[in-house]
Chain A
Amino acid sequence: MSVKLTIISQIQQIAEEQKKNLAPLTDDLVLLESGLDSLAIAVLVARLEEILGFDPFTESEDVYYPVTLGDFIRFYENAADSRKVASGRAG
């Protein structure tokens, strides 16, 4: 599953678990207005680290807090890409 789809499906699962109503998951949706509160977003980051094997918040050099869902997905995609490049070099 792509990074984007993984993120979307985890958001949906956490919303279901926490009985939260989700706004339509568009790129420009502000995360804090998605229906997930900051605790749910924290859980999302932890679950994604389990599945994807990385947490871009702690790995990235310049710390950054994504505002929209699109920002969030790109943040993860970029981290995934730079990991591929890094492992490609190592190989």
Chain B
Amino acid sequence: MLPTHVKSLRDALGNTLNGRSRFLWGARASVSLDDLLHGTSLGGRLAELSGRSVLVATRDQLSAALAMIELDGVARRLIICPSDLAASHLPSVIARGEVDAIVFDCEPPEQASFDIPLQVACTSAVRQADCIDIEHHPTEWVLLTSGTTGVPKMLVHNLAGLTAPIRSSTLQGEDIVWATFYDIRRYGGLQIFLRAVLGLGSFILSDAGETPGDYLLRLGARGVTHISGTPSHWRRALMSPSAHAIEPSYVRLSGEIADQGILDNLRSFYPRAGVGHAYASTEAGVGFDVNDGLEGFPDSMIGAVGDVEMKVEDGSLRIRSIRTAVRYLGEDGLVLADNDGFVDTGDIVELRGDRYYFLGRRSGVINVGGLKVHPEEVEAVINRHPAVRMSLVRSRKNPITGSLVVADVVLNAELDESATDFKGEILLICRESLAAYKIPATIRFVPALDVAAAGKLVRHHA
């Protein structure tokens, strides 16, 4: 947790650097945190951004990292734009965020941002700048949800909430080298980035243009000690010959259900590492860490008193804590928490013995290696085929991506499934209009599907 006298990330850096050599290592460039403390990545234009709602829309993670450190406590609002945000969503993000300044790096800003009054270039080459007094603004951190259909939701956090899960005991090591397979502009990655900045160690950023193998080699060369990723990131890492390049002391999983298989595998592959999994989401923040090596979480956590309170209602996990987002930005009528302050995570849990296990999403959303798929979207595409009467898209467990999309299809009664290559034709339609991770891995023809009294398809949680 942030000491109460620390008002911004830059403050925190000033308190912990004390002449230590600490770095942010990117794939193409690196920055000494000491240089950043006495310099600028924004061409010295920080004062102009004071009190503004700033869209941080850089290509490069390193320049985003530098801009975030400089702007926290200066900007009124930081809207952290992930590099994979579709250009078509930008106007909505700009409008909802009431953006009046944009920070960008190599690329000129997208057309949608032409009307933003203040445009500031950011670079990963920090240059010296005189320290100037800028009025302090408590900064709202706005994070975007990922992978859903339609426009991403925008969630407002503050630095106190974002840093609340970070225990000071994990920050004391001077030789800690943090890394994450995540982009730091996503909640899971930001958590690790903040641990690095608030602690005494350094940080190795991932890069979208780099293979997992090359990242692992870079991590090995820099001597990574603490590293996080989704179970899918980790499965992919373990399939790389470079998995042996690192020898971490702490391995963390979050963002998807961590099953026993991946936990056991990591423990045997990295015998010196503590392996923990965390429950976290952009909406609910970090709920909890589990460090006993087992999947799921102990039932004693439910109803326990502490920083984080949890309950299970209608089958789903609800969380109340200062770590949750404060509110949605610009979502009319969409309420984040119930009257008691609990956020419904939408994650269905089941009690077996003295442990809770995650079953999947209430909404039926399928998580394919960290990317969300709405079954209804895929069904609508399948149903375009004239031979299809109805279809049910569901999740199937997979050892590589956690889950995969599969489809059960009912053909029109008079059709013989063996007469024509219906499977091939349906897949063709899917490939024409869906991203690869949304295309059913397998299609099964079934005589009928369960339909409930209300006329809706019966969806079972896998």
Contacts and interface: CB of A to CB of B under 8 A. Distances in A.
Interface string A30-43: 11110000110111
Nearest to B403: A42
A30 B240 contact: yes
A42 B400 contact: yes
Interface in B210-245: 211-213, 232, 235-236, 238-241, 243
Contact of B399 (A30, A31, A55): A55
Nearest to A67: B241
Name the prevailing secondary structure of the A interface residues. Answer: helix
11 contacts: A30-B213, A32-B213, A38-B400, A39-B437, A41-B239, A41-B400, A42-B399, A42-B404, A42-B441, A50-B442, A58-B399
A76 interface: no
A54 interface: no
Given A32-B212, A63-B264, A46 B235 contact: no
A18 B439 CA distance: 10
Nearest to A31: B239
B461 interface: no
Contacts of A65: 235, 238-239, 265
A66 B401 CA distance: 15
A7 B369 CA distance: 22
B441 A43 contact: yes
A58 B397 contact: yes
Contact of A39 (B239, B240, B436): B436
A85 to B, nearest CB: 23
Contacts of A17: 427, 431
A46 B212 contact: no
Contacts of B437: 39
Interface residues of B, number: 32
A38 B232 contact: yes
B369 A38 contact: yes
A45 interface: yes
Contacts of B212: 32
B262 interface: yes
For the complex of A and B, the 5 pairs showing the least CB-CB separation, nearest first, are A57-B399, A42-B400, A65-B238, A42-B401, A46-B441
A57 B400 CA distance: 9
Interface in B396-421: 396-401, 404, 406
Given A42-B368, A42-B369, A45-B400, 13 more contacts: A17-B431, A32-B212, A32-B239, A38-B236, A39-B368, A39-B437, A42-B399, A42-B401, A42-B441, A55-B399, A67-B239, A67-B240, A67-B243
A13 B235 CA distance: 23
A74 interface: no
B400 A30 contact: no
Interface in B404-462: 404, 406, 427, 431, 436-437, 441-442
B261 interface: yes
Contacts of A41: 239, 400
A37 to B, nearest CB: 8
A47 B240 contact: no
Nearest to B244: A67
A31 B235 CA distance: 13
A32 B453 CA distance: 47
Given A17-B431, A18-B436, A63-B264, A32 B240 contact: yes
Given A39-B437, A64-B265, A46 B239 contact: no
A38 B235 contact: yes
Contacts of A45: 398-400
Contacts of B232: 38
B436 A30 contact: no
A55 B397 CA distance: 11
Contact of A38 (B239, B261, B264): B239
Contacts of B398: 42, 45-46
A38 to B, nearest CB: 5
* Most B Cβ at <10 Å: residue of A46, A55, A58: A46
A45 B406 CA distance: 13
A39 B369 contact: yes
B257 to A, nearest CB: 14
A46 B406 contact: yes
A44 B427 CA distance: 15
B442 A38 contact: no
A57 B239 contact: no
B371 to A, nearest CB: 9
Interface string B159-171: 0000000000000
A58 B442 contact: no
A32 B211 contact: yes
Interface in A41-91: 41-43, 45-47, 50, 55, 57-58, 62-67
Nearest to A46: B441
